Each structure stands twice: as C-alpha cells, then as structure tokens.
Chain A
C-alpha cells in the first residue's frame, strides 16, 4: 500500500510555511481555543497547503483525530510531511495517480469519520457511491461548484447526510470567492506567463463572485476587462461596474488573457480557443473539470495549469488572511455538525447566521476596526416599521 506522504524529510520547510501562515490567521487562532472535538474523527479534503494545515492542527488541538487527503495536484509535500510529524494522518502526495487519490479517499472514509470537510464534494459523492456513510454525522462543503451536485442529490432524495454549505456563509463567499480567488488567480496567471497586464485586454467569462474578483484585480493592474455572461442580472451588473460586456466568442479575438470563472464545464470550447489570437493565455479561476476544453488547443494559445484552477494548481492558493475567514467557518461548521448533526435533515443547510457573524466580528476585532451601534432614535425608527 502506498505510504501516506511522499517525503518525511521535508517537514522543517513545511513547518516554516505553516508558521508563517499562522501569523496572519487571527480568527482561526481565536476559535482554536474555543473548540472541543475530543474523541471525534474528522476528515479533511482541502488543498493541502500551509493554511489548511492550520485548520488540521486547530482541529487536532481541539481533541479530534484528523485525517487529511487531497488530490495529487494540490499537495505540498513539505506541508504534508510537517502535518504527519505533528500527529495528523496524511494520505496525500504530489506523485499519486488518480487511482491512488481515490484509494486514499476510500482509506480515509473506511477509518469511520464523524465529520467530513470537503472541497468540490468529490469525497461526499464517493462516500455515497461506495456506501461508506456509516457513522458519518455530516459534511461541510467549501465551494460553490461542490454544493451544486449536492443540491441536485438533495432534490432527488439521494443525499443521505446533512451538509453545511460553508461556501454560502457570508464570511466566506464575500471575501474568499471575490478577493481571495480573484487576486490569487490573476497573480498566478501573471507569475506563470510574465505577461504585463497594463494595456492588455482581459476577458472574464462569468460574473459571479469569482468573476467579479478576477475582473476587479485585472482592472486594478491596468487591463481593459471584458465580461461575458449568460445571466441577465450578472451581465447588467458588470455593465454598471464599468466593464464591457460581450458574448464570449466576440470577445476572444482581442483577448490577451481569458479567464473562465463560471464553474461550469464546457465554458471555453474549441471554437472559442480557435477564435483567439496567437499568444493568448487561458486560465481557470475556481473551476470544475473540463471548464476549458483542452483536447484541441490551437498552436499559439496557452492553457495554464492544464485547465485546472490556476491559483491552486500553479500557485499557493488563496491569500492567507482570506483563508483565515473560510477556515474559521470550517472549524465552526465541524463543531456544529458534531453537536447538532444528528438532528439535522439530510439536506444542504446554510451556516447558522450567528456562527457566520461571529467570524466576521472576530476578523473586525483582529483588524482593530470598530462598529457603530444604532442609537435609540434609530432603533425606534427601525421598530416603527417605516
């Protein structure tokens, strides 16, 4: 059987990265002291890097037995080594084949988890398909694209555990999807290509939260941004925020850099790729498999990271401060499932608003940002119903 990690000797370097990240994770740090997961077994399926390692350590410190797995393309072997040394079970290595990755996920599920934290709902779906749900109280899902299939399963009556939609917490999507994925995907594309954005045309397919962030950061660095949408309100929103809105095929010929930010397969097709000029670069922000049809890329056009989410596959993922928020929500979701999961319907549930707000308030406190309190006269106005 394949060893869980690739190279234990990398742990010192991994520990350094984990410690650097921890300096910028005040919210998770605060929550860490307030959790009790004694005797619980928690499975984490998140991109294995320094920030998520801090979530694993936080859950371990709260008394949980933590198992981490992750597809090969998203594994930092040094971080994996540091976590393994710290007493976390790690089943993730950068040289694993897709079959190994699946085997790792199955091994994790067979350990008998109380709670599963998933990214893309791959392992939640695997657990359903392989009938490995015994004892699983519930799962927390990190992403928009992971929640979509779970909601389809719920509608069909096929979902057999409660799922907390961590992605849909405001502390998560308002910042992680917009600023985290936005900044990091734009920067990863520039790091990989050496492209100078000033004066360049950047096309963003999809103007959801991720697309809004990508557009914002591309514009910040001097690009002229063109947005493509299928949804009328999103298109109008992009228009009002000052972006040119065009059908994707019409936008392609001018583009120096094209982002797919739809989270929908077959967004950028062979026809789009053929409409691009030589030198054009295509990247996926967020992302699902086959978002870019990479089977037939014309010469001169480059698809970054083989069409996987560019900031995860080719850089260090989202910025640390952003993941502090998202992973704090994850930590609270794990505890909520442990406490309440048994009584929750087999459905996709929103994070309880008070937990969501707790994360936002802790972040404001860490930043030293104060809030106003509504005055008596304001409360009276609000209470009057006008």
Chain B
C-alpha cells in the first residue's frame, strides 16, 4: 500500500477521533499534493477544495488557497501563511505543531512581522492557546475569529497506528496552554516534510 493511502486513512482517523465530528458535508481544504487523502475525504461526503486543477476531474472543487480557506470548515496542511485567511471556527489539521504555527520564529524579535503571519501582528504578540478538549487547542486570531488546531492530526507521526490519547492530558489540563518557545528543539521550525513529499 502506498504512503499516500496509509496517510489518508490515518489523517481522517485522527481528525474524526479528536473532534467527534462528521465528515459528510464538511468543506475541507486540502493543501499540498495529497490526491489519496482528497479522494477519501470526497468519498466520505466532504466537499473537497483543492488547488490543483486536475482535482476537478476527481470531483473536487478547484480554488486557489486564498479563496478556499475563507470558506473551509476544515483545513488539512495549514501553515503560518494561511492563518490570515481562515474563517471563524475553522479546524486545522496541521503538518507542524501548533506551537510552530503560532510561535514567533527563532531569530526574529518578539513582535512578529505582519508579512510573516499575513494577519494583524497584534494577536500573536503573546500567542496563547486554550485547550478546549483533549488534543484540540483554540487560538483567537482577532475579535471575530477563533480557530482550532488538532494535535498531531497530520503531523510527523502520521502513518503509525493511531494512538488513542487517553491520559494524554497532563496536570496542565484545563489551563491555558502557553506556547513553549523553542520547546521543540532544533528540528522545530523546519518546513513540514509531509506537504512537500510527493505521493
């Protein structure tokens, strides 16, 4: 079985287990080259939004990211540059830890630049997420928009057997989760490999 097929099922399992939501009828933006994932999502009843024009031949809606993201209920493979485009309530299955997504990149000042985030810099001056459920952290982007980031739904652990996050909650549970600056070590901040890998 190809990596793409295996990853497709695993990502879908992670998303549904973490959220307890229904896939049918969701508008799902699939960023990056993930044809197997997009096909599986479509077969489960999602309205898939992809950027590759060839996707139209497989029943996907083809849109550039800047038009897909504002309508997407769920975004697979979101990166920092997409934050400014998200709708309120969007759920993100990211290729990088949410800390990476929202934290100030190493080597910059504490004041993130608007160009890096493509969103008003202010909300990220002290990026703080709130744990809303096991494996889900809410980030407020601005007064009108809050987004939810899923832990590891599309992360480097993909392809392995789904680990049920029982007891994953430490004693910090229920408190605000402050983004652990640099807590991820030297690998932290690298480009997401999943998105770039051809499948």
- Enumerate chain A interface residues (CB-CB to B < 8 A): 12-13, 16-17, 19-21, 23-24, 50, 179-180, 183-184, 187, 190-191, 194, 196-199, 217, 219-222, 315-317, 319-322, 367
Q: Is B198 positioned at the interface, with any CB of A under 8 Å from its CB? A: no
Partner of B9, one of A198, A317, A322: A198
Q: Are B40 and A220 closer than 8 Å at their CB atoms?
A: yes
Q: Are B169 and A180 closer than 8 Å at their CB atoms?
A: no
- CB nearest neighbor in B for A192: B164
Partner of A20, one of B13, B136, B164: B136
- Residues from chain B with a CB closer than 8 A to the CB of A179 are 22, 24, 45
Partner of A219, one of B13, B16, B43, B173: B43
Q: Bound state CA distance, A322 and B162, in angstroms?
A: 24
Q: Bound state CA distance, A321 and B23, in angstroms?
A: 10
| 20 further A-B pairs in the complex, CB-CB below 8 A; given A179-B22, A198-B8, A319-B16 | A13-B173, A17-B133, A179-B24, A179-B45, A190-B13, A194-B161, A196-B5, A197-B9, A198-B5, A199-B1, A219-B43, A220-B40, A220-B45, A221-B43, A315-B17, A319-B21, A319-B22, A320-B20, A320-B22, A321-B25
What does the 1/0 interface line of B32-75 toward A look like (CB < 8 Å)?
00000000100111000000000000000000000000000000
Q: Are B25 and A16 closer than 8 Å at their CB atoms?
A: no
Q: Bound state CA distance, A358 and B47, in angstroms?
A: 25
Q: Bound state CA distance, A220 and B89, in angstroms?
A: 26
Q: Bound state CA distance, A217 and B173, in angstroms?
A: 33
Size bracket of the B interface = 20 to 34
Q: Is B156 positioned at the interface, with any CB of A under 8 Å from its CB? A: no
Q: How far is the CB of A241 from chain B (nearest CB, A)?
A: 14
Q: How far is the CB of A162 from chain B (nearest CB, A)?
A: 32
Q: Are B174 and A183 closer than 8 Å at their CB atoms?
A: no
- CB nearest neighbor in A for B16: A187
Given A198-B5, A217-B44, verify A191-B23 contact (CB < 8 Å). Answer: no
A interface secondary structure, majority: helix
Q: How far is the CB of B41 from chain A (nearest CB, A)?
A: 9
Given A16-B133, A319-B20, verify A196-B162 contact (CB < 8 Å). Answer: no
- 4 closest pairs, A vs B, by CB? A220-B43, A194-B161, A319-B22, A220-B44
- Residues from chain B with a CB closer than 8 A to the CB of A196 are 1, 5-6, 9
Q: Is B85 positioned at the interface, with any CB of A under 8 Å from its CB? A: no
- Residues from chain B with a CB closer than 8 A to the CB of A194 are 161-162
Partner of B20, one of A12, A13, A190, A316: A316
Partner of A191, one of B22, B43, B162: B162
- Residues from chain A with a CB closer than 8 A to the CB of B133 are 16-17, 20
Partner of B17, one of A191, A199, A321: A191
Q: How far is the CB of B190 from chain A (nearest CB, A)?
A: 28
Q: Are B132 and A16 closer than 8 Å at their CB atoms?
A: yes
Q: Are A183 and B132 closer than 8 Å at their CB atoms?
A: no
Q: Are A321 and B22 closer than 8 Å at their CB atoms?
A: yes
Partner of A221, one of B12, B24, B25, B131: B12
Q: Are A183 and B13 closer than 8 Å at their CB atoms?
A: no
- Residues from chain A with a CB closer than 8 A to the CB of B132 are 16, 19-20
- Residues from chain A with a CB closer than 8 A to the CB of B162 are 190-191, 194
- CB nearest neighbor in B for A194: B161
Q: How far is the CB of A92 from chain B (nearest CB, A)?
A: 19
Pairs A–B under 8 Å by Cβ, sample size 9 = A16-B132, A20-B20, A190-B162, A196-B6, A198-B9, A315-B17, A316-B20, A320-B19, A321-B22
Q: Bound state CA distance, A220 and B45, in angstroms?
A: 9
- CB nearest neighbor in B for A18: B133
- Residues from chain B with a CB closer than 8 A to the CB of A222 are 5, 9, 40
Partner of A183, one of B8, B9, B23, B40: B23
- CB nearest neighbor in B for A220: B43
